[in-house]
Copies of this chain bind each other. A is one copy, B any other.
Amino acid sequence: MATNGKAGNIVWHKSSVDKVHRQELLQQKGCVIWITGLSGSGKSTLACALCHALYSKGKLTYILDGDNVRHGLNRDLTFKAEDRAENIRRIGEVAKLFVDAGVICIVSVISPYRRDRDACRALVPDGDFIEVFMDVPIEICEARDPKGLYKLARAGKIKGFTGIDDPYEPPLNCELALPPKGNSCASPCEMAETVISYLEEKGYLHA
């Protein structure tokens, strides 16, 4: 038996109250709404609108925001490549716990690489990972530049900035792309409604 072989000596404990019970209590199904896209594409805004709209329906959500998590769980991570991957891995693992808790977990994080997002998708049961792509051209994101980061990246003061000198890999098979085609001026509330319709249709808003 390994003593320091990572998960040696470890037994899995199953609790008598499980996900099904928690979902019954909450009258919803746990899932991850994974919002991916460039800086300035509206991820956090959509996350807030969604959280608000679901709250008004009596649903329990929790937002894992890439920036916020960097202040806590992931405060030890830098922005170098392997730390970025680890950042996403940990967010995925925490989202998995929230899904198991029965919560609708809204993740708002650039998550530029397909491989990292797909690894997070693989952590949760089929169907429970709902990838929402903020399909906003970089010109628009850069014009918004809500945190002034594009300006710094263009000035060479931030290196490895997604969309400028680091790639963003758009999803190939996301569940939703927003704003919906033909409605490029959809408001955050309208986009939230699109996500909620999807959740409703897939049965996530009932136990």
Contacts and interface: CB of A to CB of B under 8 A. Distances in A.
B158 A52 contact: no
Band of interface residues on A = 35 or more
A124 to B, nearest CB: 11
Nearest to A80: B4
Interface stretch (A66-74, A172-180, A198-206): A66-74
A101 to B, nearest CB: 4
Contact of A93 (B67, B72, B100): B72
Contact of A55 (B17, B71, B97): B17
Contacts of A97: 62, 64, 72-73, 94
Given A21-B55, A51-B16, A52-B16, A70 B101 contact: no
Interface in A11-70: 11-13, 15-17, 21-22, 25-26, 44, 47-48, 51-52, 55, 58, 60-65, 67-68, 70
A15 B63 contact: yes
A185 interface: no
B78 A4 contact: yes
Given A1-B157, A7-B70, 5 more contacts: A10-B70, A12-B71, A13-B48, A13-B68, A94-B94
16 contacts: A1-B157, A5-B78, A6-B75, A7-B71, A8-B79, A9-B152, A10-B67, A15-B48, A25-B55, A25-B60, A60-B102, A73-B90, A73-B97, A94-B94, A101-B103, A103-B103
